[in-house]
């Protein structure tokens, strides 16, 4: 594992609850707002050994003020040929030292590529963040639940809730996938019922 970033600088302002609806496609430049229109771009992305995640989601994750909730059975799985901890290292790096969000929950499925020893790094990062920010208004909690395919077998798409904004992903949350796929943002997680839905699924997956 490596040391994690100190994070971006902040000006102390808080954005309004109104969201701009946008759609993104994953590409090797981070993300784009239009379909890829040439085979060179498509092939470059498809052949990448380590596809770059979407910059827009990475930024939203790193500047979250309250919650980061993720529903994706394959979120922690590394790309083929990469070390087992490679995806987890990337996600942990987004949890930088000045992260304001205190409720981080990852609802995923148990996969053979990721064993329990790697999941423990999230607990270590939680402890580090609470030591680094002892005066935060609320203790930071990072929870990983891997019972999505056991206790809730009805999910197809993948979702993320960042503060009160809903993101919808056609493939892996964060845009890590190498094939052509899209993500959209700008939906109210409150008005759409996404927050209540997440709580329903989380509660169901807490049981044995």
Tally Cβ neighbours within 10 Å of residue 136.
Answer: 14
Is beta strand 67-71 parallel, antiparallel or unpaired with respect to 103-107? parallel
Query: b/e per residue, 10-46, with b = 16+ CB within 10 A?
Result: eeeeeeeeebeeeebbbbeebbeeeebeeeebbebbe
Measured over the CA atoms of residue 27, residue 29, residue 33 and residue 39, the dihedral's sign is negative
Give the 3-state secondary structure of residue 188.
Answer: strand
pLDDT computed for residue 31 by the predictor: 79
pLDDT digits (tens, 9 = 90+) for 161-170: 999 999 999 8
Tell me how far apart the alpha carbons of residues 64 and 104 are, in angstroms, rounded to a whole number: 10
Which regions in the chain score pLDDT beneath 70? 1-17, 207-208
pLDDT digits (tens, 9 = 90+) for 109-158: 998 889 999 999 999 999 999 998 877 778 999 999 999 989 898 888 99
pLDDT computed for residue 15 by the predictor: 42
């Amino acid at each position: 594992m490596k040391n994690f970033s100190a994070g971006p600088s902040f000006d102390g302002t808080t954005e309004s609850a109104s969201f701009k609806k946008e759609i993104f496609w994953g590409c090797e430049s981070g993300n784009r707002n239009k379909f890829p229109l040439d085979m060179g771009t498509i092939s470059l992305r498809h052949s990448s050994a380590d596809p770059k995640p979407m910059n827009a989601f990475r930024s939203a994750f790193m500047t979250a003020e309250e919650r980061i909730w993720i529903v994706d059975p394959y979120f922690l799985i590394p790309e083929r040929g990469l070390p087992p901890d490679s995806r987890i290292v990337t996600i942990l790096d987004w949890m930088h030292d000045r992260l304001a969000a205190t409720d981080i929950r990852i609802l995923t499925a148990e996969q053979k590529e990721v064993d329990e020893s790697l999941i423990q790094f999230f607990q270590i990062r939680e402890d580090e963040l609470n030591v680094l920010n002892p005066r935060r208004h609320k203790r930071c909690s990072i929870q990983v639940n891997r019972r999505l395919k056991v206790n809730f077998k009805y999910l197809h798409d993948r979702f993320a809730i960042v503060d009160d904004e809903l993101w919808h992903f056609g493939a892996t949350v964060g845009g890590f996938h190498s094939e052509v796929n899209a993500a959209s943002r700008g939906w109210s997680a409150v008005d759409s019922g996404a927050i209540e839905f997440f709580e329903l699924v989380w509660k169901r997956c807490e049981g044995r």
